[in-house]
Each structure stands twice: as structure tokens, then as C-alpha cells.
């Protein structure tokens, strides 16, 4: 049975005839809508998310759904709309309106034209994450149009500033409008999704946690002087010594539960030499040779198995013959979500072993992991399997961070789940050039999101 037919039968059992026509129109309409949303330039910096709010408002107006908007700062728009339902914990459909900059000289098409070419829709935000925002919107509208009684409130939430940390978006709303989230139990956001592995195998990862960013600034101080008269010790020499200690350090490996499940789920798709290790990853992480080879082949997966630090910024003197009074190094550390951030910073201080180097915390989050045994996780699994019967659904852990951490920090289960099944190579445009999504991928994803929302919010 073809996928389209299966999907058709599913809708038939869930919706009335007129709702089917409307749901089909929402699936077909997703391409034009995403194209239009891409044409709304919300590049961050500066963001201008209010433009996106205006665009989404028009669609909600036409559908007769009321909504509210707020600017956290001039032009930094945020929008939310609610479908009222029963007493079960509410669901938030979250996306960020902003996108990262695009340099047109590296693109084969205008990144803000929303062009369709050879079966793909191109543009900044086609994957990250205007596509998911529009797919959530179509599913939200489909739910509204069924007129069915919902077992919980469903909130459509579009926010500013994720690409610069989210403090003018989700962070701002949680701080200034906590009432919005009083009854919320679940969030669906970016961070996971489906992929074709080889021929027909489909794997969905549902992101349940992230490494915690611990961004640190190390400041060494010493006597300034002339470059022609070297001193025994300077700010720069101290800092370089500390940097050496850091680059030579490999933090102790630890396999947290969702990472173990993720590796086990990915095992069948690895090169022969790695299958056994992925299946029983905890038996292999103590082997430095294995860890080194994994880091060479796949630095992202390796980073899920231990705390890491990348030295990213180095500053000494601005003039060749001046010994500076101060030298600075910035560290992008990512800590496993089971660990204590203060303890980790103490560990860094011990490692550097130099009281003349100050360790400042630039930013860090609280650690949190969402459960894999909730009703929403189960609904994602069952809906994914109805639309793709052979698909595997596994927990996912990411090395980067999204706005989900704001919700996890206040005890709300948040899942990274985009309903798209990407073909090999299709995900490569995220934050890069020629970002694009397949038209079929987009439509099938819309249908999956419509099904998921029906499954989770109607009895």
C-alpha cells in the first residue's frame, strides 16, 4: 500500500468529508504559504520578527482564530493563539520566526524569494525553521476546522530571537508572561525529525535533551611591558599554558540513558566496524582508541558521550611590540545534561591550576531531560508508525541548543520533532547555502503533523 493511500485512509477514519477536503487543501497549500513566509525577511540580527507576526496574523484573521502579540523590544514580535480544550495539560506548538543571515553570493537562487525549483522549495528558513512553523500552523488550522472537542488547550506560539539565544523571545515570555504557560505540560519544537537511512529505512529521532552550554571567559593578568624585554611570566604565557592543559584534556566518558537508546537505534546503519560498538556503547567508551576514531569520523556523536570544551576566542595584544596586561580566551564547553554546572566549572579551575587566571561564566543553563514515557512521546511514536509502518522512533540528544531548554528548565516536557523525513543530503542547508526542502517531504510532513495533532488532542 502506498503511503498516500494509507494517509488517505487514516484521514477518512478521523474526519468528516468536508474536513477531509479542508485538510487536503491545507496540505496542498503548505508550499505557497512557506514560500510567502520565507519572503518575509526576518534575518537575525536584527530579527524584525514583527514582520513575521504580521504575516501569521493575516492567516489567523482569515480563519477567525483570535490571537495576541507582543514586542519584547521594538520590532521583536511574538505571537500566540489558543484553541480551547479540556483539562489535560496543554500543548504548545513552538517555532522561532527569525532566521540566520544568508549571503546571496553563495546561493544558486535568491535566499529570500521562496522559489520552487526541480521539486524543492529554496530559501532561508526552508528547514530552520519556517517550514515547521507553517506545518504546525496548517495542523492547528485543520484542528480548528474539524470543530471537534479537544481534550486540552493547544497553543500556537511564534517567537523572536532563537538564533541569538532566545532572550527576546521564549526567554522573555517566560520571564514577563509566565501566565501563558500555567497549564502547559508539553512543547513540540525543532531539534528532531525523520531521515531516510539507506533505501527505505526511516528513523525518527525525538529530541529529549541537549548538552548544556557552559560558556566561559578565562582572563589572565600580568605586567605589561615592551616586547624587546621579555619577562619571566606574562598574561599571554599564563594563558597559553592554561590553553595547553585544556586541549590535552579528555573529560571522562559517560553514557546517559537517551544517548544509549539513540546509539542502539542508529547501530544498524553504521559501517560494519561500528555496529557492535553502537549497540553496546557503554562497553566501548572506556577505550581511548575507539573514542578517538569516533571523534575523527563523527565529532557530533562523540560529543554526546562526554563533556567537551572548544577554545574559540583568543585575544592577546593588539600590537606586536607590546606585552599586554591582559590576555583572554573564550571556551565553548558543553556539559552532559546529568551533570552539575558549578562542579564542572570547579573542575576547569583545578585543571588550569593558576590562581592568576580568572574564570568568568558568560552563560549556562540548568540541566534537564524530558521523559520518553509521556503520552506525547507515545503519540509521536504511534502516528509516525501509522504513516511509516516500518519506521523506528528513538530518543535523540543534540550537542547544540534550542529554545526547548527554557521549557525544560521549568519542568515542561519538550520534544524536538519535525515531521519531515529528509532524504540523504537534504538537511545540509541548515545555516548554510541553498537551504531547501523537498515539496513531497513538506506535504507528507504536513499530513503527519495534522494526524499527530488529531491523535493527541481528541479522544
CB of 96 to Zn ion, least distance (A): 6
Nearer to Zn ion, 224 or 432 (CB): 432
Classified as helix, coil or strand, 31 is: helix
* Nearest residue (CB) to Zn ion, 166 versus 222: 166
Choose between 153 and 162: whose C-beta lies nearer to Zn ion.
162
Q: Which residues bind Zn ion (CB under 5 A)?
A: 128-129, 190
Q: Which is nearer to Zn ion, 131 or 146 (CB)?
A: 131
Q: Report how far residue 115's alpha carbon sits from residue 111's, in angstroms, rounded to the nearest whole number.
A: 8
Q: Distance of CA 384 to CAs 31, 219, 426, 455, 457, Å?
A: 22, 50, 20, 11, 16
Least Å from the CB of residue 206 to Zn ion: 16
Helix axis angle, 30-39 to 17-28, nearest 10°: 40
Q: How many CB atoms lie within 10 A of CB 389?
A: 11
Comparison of 190 and 413: residue with beta carbon closer to Zn ion: 190
The secondary element (H helix, E strand) that includes residue 444 is helix 439-457
- Kindly give the residue spans of alpha helices, DSSP state H, lying in 255-403: 257-266, 272-279, 288-297, 299-302, 341-352, 375-387
Residue closer to Zn ion, measured from CB, 49 or 190: 190
Phi, psi of 366 (to 5 degrees): -85, 145
Cα angle for residues 310, 240, 311 (degrees, 5° grid): 10
DSSP letter for 43, please.
B
CA angle 65, 71, 75 (to 5 degrees): 110
Residue 367: partners with Cβ closer than 8 Å, 6 or more residues away:
212, 335, 336, 337, 338, 339, 340, 341
- The nearest distance, CB 56 to Zn ion, in angstroms, is 17
* Helices and strands (H and E) in the chain: how many: 15, 17
Q: Indicate the residue among 133 and 395 with the shorter CB distance to Zn ion.
A: 133
Is the Cβ of residue 96 or residue 306 nearer to Zn ion in the bound state?
96
Phi/psi at 49 (nearest 5 deg)? -65, -20
DSSP secondary structure, 135-148, as one string? HHHHHHHHHHHH-P
**Whether 68 contacts 52, CB under 8 Å:** no
* 207 backbone dihedrals φ, ψ, rounded to 5°: -70, 125
Largest separation between any pair of C-alpha atoms in the chain: 86
**Which residues 6+ apart lie within 8 Å of 353 measured at CB?**
245
How many CB atoms lie under 10 A from the CB of residue 149?
11
Query: Toward Zn ion, which CB reaches closer, 167 or 251?
Result: 167
Angle at 122 between CA 426 and CA 454, to 5 degrees: 70
Our CB check for Zn ion shows the closer of 260 and 334 to be 334
Give the side-chain half-sphere CA count within 13 A for 390: 10
Nearer to Zn ion, 190 or 444 (CB): 190
Amino acid at each position: 500500500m502506498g503511503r498516500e493511500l494509507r494517509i488517505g485512509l487514516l484521514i477518512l477514519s478521523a474526519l468528516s468529508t468536508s474536513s477531509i477536503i479542508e485538510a487536503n487543501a491545507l496540505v496542498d497549500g503548505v508550499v505557497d504559504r512557506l514560500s510567502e513566509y520565507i519572503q518575509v525577511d526576518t534575518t537575525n540580527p536584527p530579527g524584525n520578527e514583527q514582520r513575521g507576526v504580521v504575516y501569521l496574523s493575516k492567516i489567523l484573521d482569515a480563519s477567525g482564530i483570535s490571537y495576541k502579540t507582543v514586542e519584547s523590544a521594538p520590532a521583536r514580535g511574538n505571537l500566540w493563539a489558543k484553541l480551547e480544550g479540556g483539562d489535560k495539560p496543554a500543548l504548545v506548538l513552538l517555532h522561532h520566526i527569525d532566521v540566520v543571515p544568508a549571503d546571496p553570493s553563495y546561493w544558486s537562487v535568491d535566499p529570500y524569494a521562496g522559489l520552487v525549483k526541480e521539486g524543492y522549495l529554496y530559501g532561508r528558513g526552508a528547514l530552520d525553521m519556517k517550514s515547521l512553523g507553517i506545518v504546525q500552523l496548517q495542523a492547528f488550522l485543520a484542528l480548528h476546522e474539524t470543530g471537534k472537542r479537544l481534550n486540552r488547550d493547544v497553543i500556537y506560539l511564534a517567537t523572536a530571537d532563537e538564533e541569538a539565544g532566545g532572550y527576546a523571545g521564549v526567554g522573555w515570555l517566560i520571564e514577563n508572561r509566565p501566565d501563558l504557560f500555567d497549564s502547559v505540560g508539553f512543547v513540540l519544537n525543532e531539534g528532531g525529525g525523520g531521515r531516510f537511512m539507506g533505501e527505505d529505512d526511516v528513523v525518527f529521532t525525538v529530541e529529549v535533551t541537549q548538552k548544556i552550554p557552559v560558556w566561559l571567559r578565562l582572563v589572565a593578568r600580568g605586567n605589561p611591558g615592551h616586547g624587546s624585554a621579555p619577562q619571566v611570566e606574562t598574561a599571554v604565557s599564563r594563558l597559553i599554558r592554561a590553553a595547553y592543559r585544556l586541549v590535552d584534556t579528555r573529560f571522562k566518558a559517560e553514557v546517559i540513558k537517551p544517548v544509549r537508546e539513540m546509539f542502539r537505534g542508529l547501530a544498524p546503519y553504521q559501517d560494519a566496524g561500528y555496529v557492535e560498538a553502537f549497540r553496546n556503547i557503554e562497553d566501548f567508551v572506556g577505550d581511548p582508541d575507539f573514542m578517538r576514531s569516533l571523534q575523527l569520523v563523527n565529532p557530533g556523536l562523540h560529543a554526546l558521550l562526554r563533556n567537551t570544551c572548544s577554545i574559540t576566542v583568543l585575544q592577546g595584544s593588539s600590537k606586536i611590540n607590546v606585552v599586554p596586561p591582559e590576555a583572554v580566551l573564550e571556551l565553548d564547553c558543553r556539559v552532559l545534561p546529568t551533570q552539575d554546572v558549578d562542579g564542572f566549572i570547579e573542575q576547569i579551575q583545578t585543571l588550569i591550576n593558576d590562581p592568576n587566571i580568572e574564570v568568568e561564566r558568560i552563560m549556562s543553563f540548568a540541566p534537564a531531560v524530558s521523559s520518553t514515557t509521556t503520552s506525547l512521546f507515545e503519540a509521536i511514536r504511534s502516528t509516525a508508525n501509522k504513516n511509516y509502518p516500518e519506521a523506528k522512533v528513538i530518543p535523540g540528544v543534540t550537542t547544540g541548543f534550542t529554545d526547548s531548554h527554557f521549557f525544560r528548565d521549568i519542568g515542561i516536557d519538550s520534544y524536538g520533532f519535525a515531521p519531515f523525513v529528509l532524504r540523504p543530503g537534504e538537511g545540509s542547508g541548515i545555516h548554510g547555502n541553498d537551504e531547501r526542502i523537498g515539496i513531497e517531504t513538506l506535504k507528507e510532513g504536513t499530513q503527519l503533523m495534522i494526524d499527530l495533532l488529531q491523535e493527541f488532542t481528541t479522544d
